[in-house]
Structure 1
């Protein structure tokens, strides 16, 4: 374990704590952590520091850090912003391993605050001291009582150590998650708030808590991500231990991004890339806090279903109908029960009950409290079901809830199947919750949780398969010498053809006679395009001529390209004469280097409406052909690939192969290639392959950046009508 990890471990489980700016007032930021440490049973040594007091909250107080009798593992800094730097320097000089800065007024306030924050971070880093914050609500570890945090919610809802870790940039959101989980009966071990993240990030803390054997679920809230490699490590560590990692990443919209910038001074990530990164690493992205809170009990059961086939049992016919509708909308298939199962269930119920799936037990439970148990016994021997929803919207007087709860709990225990119960009132839910059954207030809530749970399991399995996929080794691209931001189209096509991508037949011509000769050699209509490394976007200048046929037409198109480039006063690299490629569909494939997440690959529908009606999917490499196929299947146009109305299927295998090749190229040429754009990619029938009619490579500048904010999905770079 390296020094940084040891220091972070000391922050999460310190043997001793100093509180700089300790206060007698338990409701002040400097007073609350001292109160909490005593209140929640912290057994380590605590050193209040305040030059104007000798005793704070009944404990001896020290005038400064230098006079402490030992070097504490952790310091809590709760002084005014102007005094923070001096306090951090004193802690660093003492040799303290980690410090939490509760003070605000730094990076979230603007340029001056960012400079002050950087100065504090530099002072800590120079001494090897880890820094949480500034603008942090603090850290809380309820297994040891090390509550170095000032949230008011810990007195509103008494802590209970449990299997959940909450890691959040926002202190308020960490407290809200804690509150909602505790109200739902879930124990929480860690509540960790990183604030402005001058040093320690949510990703690093997620990795740290994943090593705790008691943790069964990690929940993260973030407004920006700047250490994707660390988050990937955290996700991998969680997967290795079977710990689900749920993340609420704010800042999806422009308005949300602006709000995040003013909240924690966060840098904003491109949201589609964030989604692709989460998908690649099996991190489930929640849309709101309740998405996390409602599903947490399912994850904590540690029962993992084999599939998504659903069985619904209810004492309401309308609930049966609505559940079937909800399930269909979510893509949860209703399990096909065997005739034997249906017969056994029918014998346990009144003649008017419905024994197909959903199973409507009607009023049978009023007359026979063991009828549900008999139905569940019939279901236990049927392997068709993976998920079971027991819906009891009506269960008042006359219903033996204790017996019903006992029978459902017995079914879950003996079969190891995933069971959810929905009931409308808290009183009805109580017997089920008491027996550890996962219980919801409505069928829709329950089914949404089952859907997310099983999709997340499938995502985890897919991510593990991709992690084990063999890497595609290719030799580095040999880019032609030059300092231009882009290669010309001809250069790009030559380089990528050498890497194994199928380029359209073409010839670079420097006079009209060469162009005519090229046209004759191709024996069909051609495209004629101006070529220049200074001209990545030719269409908008009218320098692309399609379906050119006949000597006179070829000469006119060539001359128009030459004169057009001359008028723009840019370098003339000839004109490309390319055979017109024909196929079934035009797609686009692109790759770019994201400054945080590294290579990102895009596949999208093509054609001239690509920007007006975007239809794309992003992937983070490495991935194999199976993952590429799954991504292509998510496009809106995907049903066309199989062929419709008697059409033959398209060559999806060739598309997948090109995507894997582009991903490999981007990974292995990260130092030299900023982006690749293949557009259009013309797809033929199955077995006919694809033809790339246009290509563009952007160099990576010496400082590692791109020449411009290239993103194929919303900045299509070339003509698409070939």
Structure 2
């Protein structure tokens, strides 16, 4: 991405005063002809300039032989030529003063190294002229509020556009069209369909930032295969959050094969998926698995939520639906609200004596003979604080049911209470009266429950106050050129940051080691200490449970002699108190080259690699967020204690994770990674203790480690090991 010397260029590309189509065709079904047709068909009021040296008229418009002969420098140019003509055209646009050029042509970064080089050259030409590029390999941009449809998707003729409150911004043109289609088939209006292609310059993040400025936008849908400018996306998310605009993202490339496919598709770098998840959560961007998950909840997003709780009340005329909804609520973590006794009495008055008055509320056949029964139940529920989300399920709602009355009463309840209400029915005709009154409807209870779950979680995440960055002075590492700090220096940094480190001494002779053992008063660990020896146990230079003069002496001498044999610099020997805890955990951090500091906390012990159980967080975050993340670990049920055990000190573990994040943030990027393993978690109130620490410097001109392998910044997989 290049620095934009014209900050309003991308905004102007969505509302251009003039558009040139280079490679314009008289055939509206060709790539070069479709944008001309669309601009005219969808009411674009600006100047349209077809450019084609072989024609004088294109689709009834005067055609120009080249960009230089245009009567003005267009705000937007659509490049619909192939091969070497693309580079020539981009240079001509740059020379003419075009503000933004969309390159529809493919055959660049997605094809390999040569294509990437050509793509980079196009971006350089544009950057020197202050011109923005969209693409190459882009399907184009479309703004249906003003008819500026500089796009060649066939879907705009298959499914008529309707301006609306949704913006779609996608790296993939096909996916942008698919999302448009699904939303339009659902009856949702879409204002923007923007496809960035290979992103030689303009990114999804930048266009997301532009569309947040549009006051008509109420939902932003993103598709990405890679994320190269997280700081821009974070700024867009912050702006959207302030305006109450949800951002939902479909991020492809979760699996190894998916990442490989993404590379071949756009020629872009891909990101570690767990880090992407943590980043999106940090910025309240909701990640979904497929387009259907976006479309299913879109109308609920657009309706908004005034109540952010997750208490669910189900009202149905089917007992089986009540049971199935209760099961689904338990599966999704939605709480069936406990109704007050006074509410249940009022419900009983509104229904037949054999109806169920507790939540879920089974209306039975009462609606057939009493079309006001639903309204009576809803009025009874209106003042009960147990409900935030209401599901009205009418699987049986054919002849004999006064659907207009039911819909009127439901809409009145929603308007009066401000609660979130959804309605389900198997017949589309049964839902029609509810939809006419602006209620959100679904064809099945499961679709409705999934939408309620997602929207309630997402809006709560958006409304949560983002934690502040940590206070305190910067962390300064000891001077040195080695990739890693010694364990002693790593422990000293951890101690200075307030982390609870096991008591230790650094000893340079046997007498010091024996004095340390006596001072610590019990079994000790004896470990070689050198900045050139980050993994001591691999060389047999860690001795545990030494608890006699002979054992301590022997361990010290073995460390000293082993380090001499390896030829590593002497840093002494660490003598540390042997610590015990309820369970071992590991806390790690790394500076991701794209996302910055990322923190990992995982179950520990010798099976950590065979059965990884970890969570990732992107700072800043607080202890409450860490606790929520820890609750998703497989070992989480052990925290409360099992079969008479005392609870573990999860509070202390959370505090330690927050402190590690602060170390990473305060280091000014000088720490490449930090590894605290094991971290012994004790019983509640007894804290945690860090037994071992290893800090890695950010690589500059580091030497090769003792094992002979070149240094590389840790991946998440390495953080877990």
Question: Would you say same fold, with TM above 0.5?
Answer: yes
Give, in whole Å, the separation in 1 of the partners of 2:591 and 2:702: 9
8 Å CA contact retained: 2:108, 2:136: yes
- Deviation per residue, 1:549-608 (Å, 9 max, x gap): 212222222233233333433333222111111222221111110111111111112222
Q: Cα RMSD over matched residues? A: 1.8
**Deviation larger for 185-194 or 418-427:** 418-427
8 Å CA contact retained: 1:698, 1:707: no
Secondary structure of the residue aligned to 2:336 is coil
| Residue in structure 1 matched with residue 651 of structure 2 by the alignment | 653
Secondary structure of the residue aligned to 2:522 is coil
| Residue in structure 2 matched with residue 154 of structure 1 by the alignment | 156
- Which of 504, 507, 515 does residue 506 from structure 1 map onto? 504
8 Å CA contact retained: 1:26, 1:32: yes
Kindly state the Cα deviation for residue 688 of structure 1 after the two structures are TM-superposed.
Answer: 2.8
| Residue in structure 2 matched with residue 92 of structure 1 by the alignment | 94
Counterparts of residues 312-323 of structure 1 (less than 5 Å): 312-323=314-325
Give, in whole Å, the separation in 2 of the partners of 1:218 and 1:155: 23
- Which of 68, 79, 103 does residue 105 from structure 2 map onto? 103
8 Å CA contact retained: 1:678, 1:695: yes
**Deviation larger for 481-490 or 517-526:** 517-526
Give the number of aligned pairs.
713
| Residue in structure 1 matched with residue 75 of structure 2 by the alignment | 73
Secondary structure of the residue aligned to 1:23 is coil
| Residue in structure 1 matched with residue 712 of structure 2 by the alignment | 708
Give, in whole Å, the separation in 1 of the partners of 2:325 and 2:475: 55
- Which of 398, 401, 408 does residue 400 from structure 2 map onto? 398
**1:653 to 1:12, Cα distance in 2 relative to 1, 3 A:** same
| Residue in structure 2 matched with residue 249 of structure 1 by the alignment | 251
| Residue in structure 1 matched with residue 488 of structure 2 by the alignment | 490
**Deviation larger for 439-448 or 650-659:** 650-659
Kindly state the Cα deviation for residue 374 of structure 1 after the two structures are TM-superposed.
Answer: 1.7
Kindly state the Cα deviation for residue 635 of structure 1 after the two structures are TM-superposed.
Answer: 2.6
**Deviation larger for 585-594 or 31-40:** 585-594
Secondary structure of the residue aligned to 2:191 is strand
- Deviation per residue, 1:173-213 (Å, 9 max, x gap): 00000000000010000000000000110011111000100
Give, in whole Å, the separation in 2 of the partners of 1:240 and 1:712: 32
- Deviation per residue, 1:103-153 (Å, 9 max, x gap): 000000000000000000000001110110000000000000000000000
8 Å CA contact retained: 1:616, 1:713: no
**Deviation larger for 99-108 or 473-482:** 473-482
- Deviation per residue, 1:231-253 (Å, 9 max, x gap): 00010000010000101111000
- Which of 273, 276, 292 does residue 274 from structure 1 map onto? 276
Kindly state the Cα deviation for residue 713 of structure 1 after the two structures are TM-superposed.
Answer: 5.5
8 Å CA contact retained: 1:699, 1:707: no
2:635 maps to 1:637: yes
8 Å CA contact retained: 2:54, 2:65: yes
2:140 maps to 1:138: yes
Give, in whole Å, the separation in 2 of the partners of 1:704 and 1:511: 29
Kindly state the Cα deviation for residue 2 of structure 1 after the two structures are TM-superposed.
Answer: 7.4
| Residue in structure 2 matched with residue 39 of structure 1 by the alignment | 41
Give, in whole Å, the separation in 1 of the partners of 2:234 and 2:677: 31
Counterparts of residues 39-438 of structure 1 (less than 5 Å): 39-438=41-440
**1:30 to 1:487, Cα distance in 2 relative to 1, 3 A:** same
Kindly state the Cα deviation for residue 517 of structure 1 after the two structures are TM-superposed.
Answer: 2.8
Give, in whole Å, the separation in 2 of the partners of 1:25 and 1:176: 24
8 Å CA contact retained: 2:589, 2:719: no
8 Å CA contact retained: 2:108, 2:137: yes
Kindly state the Cα deviation for residue 404 of structure 1 after the two structures are TM-superposed.
Answer: 1.6
Give, in whole Å, the separation in 2 of the partners of 1:167 and 1:712: 29
Give, in whole Å, the separation in 1 of the partners of 2:266 and 2:164: 28
Give, in whole Å, the separation in 2 of the partners of 1:147 and 1:33: 7
- Which of 615, 619, 622 does residue 620 from structure 2 map onto? 622
Give, in whole Å, the separation in 1 of the partners of 2:674 and 2:122: 40
- Deviation per residue, 1:240-299 (Å, 9 max, x gap): 100001011110000110111111112110111111111111100111111100101001
| Residue in structure 2 matched with residue 584 of structure 1 by the alignment | 582
Give, in whole Å, the separation in 1 of the partners of 2:372 and 2:492: 75
8 Å CA contact retained: 2:585, 2:681: yes
- Deviation per residue, 1:401-442 (Å, 9 max, x gap): 222222211211122111011111222222222221111111
Give, in whole Å, the separation in 1 of the partners of 2:503 and 2:583: 18
Give, in whole Å, the separation in 1 of the partners of 2:158 and 2:64: 31
Kindly state the Cα deviation for residue 712 of structure 1 after the two structures are TM-superposed.
Answer: 5.8
- Deviation per residue, 1:215-237 (Å, 9 max, x gap): 00000000000101000001000
- Which of 451, 456, 477 does residue 479 from structure 1 map onto? 477
Structure 1 residue runs without a partner (length 5+): 718-722
Structure 2 residue runs without a partner (length 5+): 704-709
8 Å CA contact retained: 2:483, 2:702: no
**Deviation larger for 142-151 or 417-426:** 417-426
Kindly state the Cα deviation for residue 82 of structure 1 after the two structures are TM-superposed.
Answer: 1.6
Give, in whole Å, the separation in 1 of the partners of 2:20 and 2:720: 56
**Deviation larger for 683-692 or 406-415:** 683-692
Secondary structure of the residue aligned to 2:7 is helix
| Residue in structure 1 matched with residue 689 of structure 2 by the alignment | 691
Give, in whole Å, the separation in 2 of the partners of 1:254 and 1:501: 36
